[in-house]
Amino acid sequence: MTPVTDKPLTKNMRPDGSVVDIRAYEQADGYQAVRKVLHGGMTPNAVTDAVKDANLRGRGGAGFPTGQKWSFVPLGNNAPTPTYLICNADEMEPGTFKDRLLLERDPHQLIEGMIIAGFAIEADVAYIFLRGEYVLAAERLSRAIAEAYDAHYLGKNILGSDYSLELYLHLSGGRYMCGEETGLLNALEGKRANPRSKPPFPPVVGLFGKPTVVNNVETLCCVPHIINHGAAWFHALGRTHDAGTKLFGASGKVKRPGLWELPMGTTIREILEEHAGGMRDGVTFRGLLPGGASTDFVTEEHLDTPMDFTAMAKIGSRMGTGTMIVLDDQTCPVGMTWNLMHFFAQESCGWCTPCWSGLGWVERILTSMEDGQGQPGDLDKLASQAKMWGPGATFCALAPGAAEPLQSALKYFRDDFERHIREKRCPWR
């Protein structure tokens, strides 16, 4: 019987950082969910319904209901073949490092999740699309995939069932755009990682024109635990309507930067003060980006907000990846915003004019402000440009994501921007 735990994603992880191999994973009841699905009489629709009932929402940042995404895939004898499942492990957004922990420490958890997800959508082929710089993760995933094949968890007629799945590890070309869902599909096809127009959506027309589901690492790692313990258990793990646990992280000038598995709905304050240890001695909290670089700043007044998809939206931000970047009073908010815009400008694929042209323009304005050459009208230009990057104005979410830290920095730290222009210098230099 699989033991019940309140930290399912990290329960197998060792303090020394070593990887959990297949023998250790099986001893911890690993691959029992696969056996339950393949030999317990579950149908693909039943697996999808279980994930729907659990209210598993995508952990990559958007929070789309996972079971609902799976339900869009055509099933049955008349469905196009092959069907593809892709794990998006191209974790490249600044401040985000949660999937790396799962990939390096417990890769079989991901593989088991992919087998179950593949069964639910009747996938024939699966890919792990991995950030190229994650060298250790690539080594450990390659070994785990080989172990899974040797144990007949992958390949033809898995564990003597009628279900077969081939799983491949693909190393990314190293651009942020490769992690955007449709840019990823183009990259996997050997093309430039530009986004595709939608519709059609990938569950119907995806990789090589066939039905395709793309899920995040952390999302797929939740799936075996839902199958083992049920939807009610998964709901009970969370503190709010959004179910389950979440890997939350913090970076910046906090006493204990790191990553923790906590209930969905844990407040920002608890993560910052209890788990990250609060601010370092000599610095004061000013604000933070709650879910990686592409989220809106929040400030002191928001610290008691639960970190979930609904509550964060109500305060004008997003939970995103749940990995916080903390701003202190000794760090220039203009410089921090410039650094983020520099990243987004570098990583734009150039497909949309508001993105490739606007990001470069904003970066140049912020550079001039940092160099003491800012002009009185610059803030209006920045605000106007952020508005032009709004949802629906570009093919993908790169530009809308870049707008979030910029527009919120102008809202909460406007005095700092004005001081740069007024004093013709960066006060932190």
Per-residue confidence band for 157, with pLDDT thresholds at 50, 70 and 90: very high
Residue 352 tokens read as 């949309």
Question: Rounded to an integer, what is the distance from CA 87 to the centroid of its chain?
Answer: 11
* Residue-number span of the structural domain to which 252 is assigned: 245-328
The mean predicted confidence, pLDDT, of the chain is 95
Taking only the tens place, the pLDDT of each residue in 279-322 is 999 999 999 999 999 999 999 999 999 999 999 999 999 999 99
Residue 245 tokens read as 């646990």
Residue 301 tokens read as 């007044």
Q: Is residue 51 part of a domain?
A: yes
**Residue 245, φ and ψ in degrees, nearest 5:** -100, 175
Per-residue confidence (pLDDT) for residue 210, from 0 to 100: 97
- What average pLDDT score do residues 18-30 get? 96
Nearest in space to 88 (alpha carbons), one of 138, 135, 145, 130: 130
Half-sphere exposure of 318 (CA within 13 A, CB side): 20
CB atoms within 10 A of CB 237: 23
Per-residue confidence band for 2, with pLDDT thresholds at 50, 70 and 90: low
Give the rounded percent of residues in the chain with a pLDDT score beyond 70. Answer: 99
pTM of the entire predicted model: 0.94
Which amino acid, 55?
Answer: N
| Residues 381 and 405 both lie in one domain | yes
Residue 246 three-state SS? strand
Q: Is residue 179 part of a domain?
A: yes
| Residues 258 and 310 both lie in one domain | yes
Taking only the tens place, the pLDDT of each residue in 196-243 is 988 899 999 999 999 999 999 999 999 999 999 999 999 999 999 999
Per-residue confidence band for 173, with pLDDT thresholds at 50, 70 and 90: confident
Taking only the tens place, the pLDDT of each residue in 346-403 is 999 888 888 989 999 999 999 999 999 999 899 999 999 999 998 888 888 889 999 9
Residue 419 tokens read as 């001081």
- The span from the CA of 65 to the CA of 54, in Å, is 10
Which sign does the torsion angle of CA 323, 300, 407, 368 carry?
A: negative
The CATH code of the domain that includes 400 is 1.20.1440.230
| Residues 128 and 256 both lie in one domain | no
Q: Domains in the chain: how many in total?
A: 3
CB contact at 8 A, 99 and 91: yes
Taking only the tens place, the pLDDT of each residue in 242-273 is 999 999 999 999 999 999 999 999 999 999 99
| Residues 140 and 277 both lie in one domain | no
| Residues 405 and 418 both lie in one domain | yes
Q: Is residue 428 part of a domain?
A: no
Structural domain ending residue among the three candidates 275, 306, 328: 328
Nearest in space to 87 (alpha carbons), one of 165, 21, 5, 4: 165
